[in-house]
């Protein structure tokens, strides 16, 4: 049985993961309306991953005999000045999610919730990848900042991302 403190903390994380999904879906719309289908494709896959993360946490609570407490999801931002600004925000958002996962792990340690600690190890590793991916794209955008053709090349490259 999952303890109340852990259950509540994971429910909060579910909300953050669902907000991440919403945020990335909003970024998809921005890229679609900016005629950058490759960027939109990359973000669609990112959005789906965030939903999967939320469901992994959701199922974990249920498997442990807990109750999921869903809360309202805040509306995400809808406009950005450039693809670089989108990825700056995505990188900052992933850093915030990493900090939240780390805090959740601390709660699992305090609660001596060993199953949660094991499950959260996956999320900790996943966040290393998430931050790396956003940082790499941001670094590429910084290198090509003023060249429209280079942005289109990167857009084409991003369209090749496969879903897991």
For 4-158, CATH number out of 1.20.1260.10, 1.10.10.10, 1.20.1530.20, 1.10.357.10 equals: 1.20.1260.10
Of 13, 151, 33, which Cα lies nearest the Cα of 87? 151
pLDDT in tens, the chain (164 residues): 999 999 999 999 999 999 999 999 999 999 999 999 999 999 999 999 999 999 999 999 999 999 999 999 999 999 999 999 999 999 999 999 999 999 999 999 999 999 999 999 999 999 999 999 999 999 888 877 766 677 777 887 888 888 76
pTM (global) more than 0.85: yes
- Domains of the chain, by residue range, sit at 4-158
């Amino acid at each position: 049985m999952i303890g109340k403190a852990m259950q509540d903390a994971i429910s909060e994380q579910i909300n953050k993961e669902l907000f991440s999904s919403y945020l990335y879906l909003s970024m998809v719309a921005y890229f679609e309306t900016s005629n950058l289908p490759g960027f939109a494709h990359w973000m669609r896959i990112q959005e789906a991953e965030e939903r999967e993360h939320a469901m992994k946490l959701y199922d974990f609570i249920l498997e442990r005999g807990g109750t999921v407490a869903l809360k309202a999801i805040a509306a995400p931002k809808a406009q950005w000045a450039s693809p670089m600004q989108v990825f700056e925000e995505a990188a900052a958002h992933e850093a915030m999610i990493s900090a939240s996962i780390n805090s959740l792990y601390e709660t699992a340690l305090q609660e001596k919730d060993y199953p949660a600690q094991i499950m959260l190890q996956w999320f900790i590793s996943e966040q290393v990848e998430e931050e790396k991916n956003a940082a790499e794209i941001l670094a590429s955008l910084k290198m090509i900042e003023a060249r429209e053709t280079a942005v289109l090349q990167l857009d084409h490259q991003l369209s090749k991302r496969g879903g897991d």
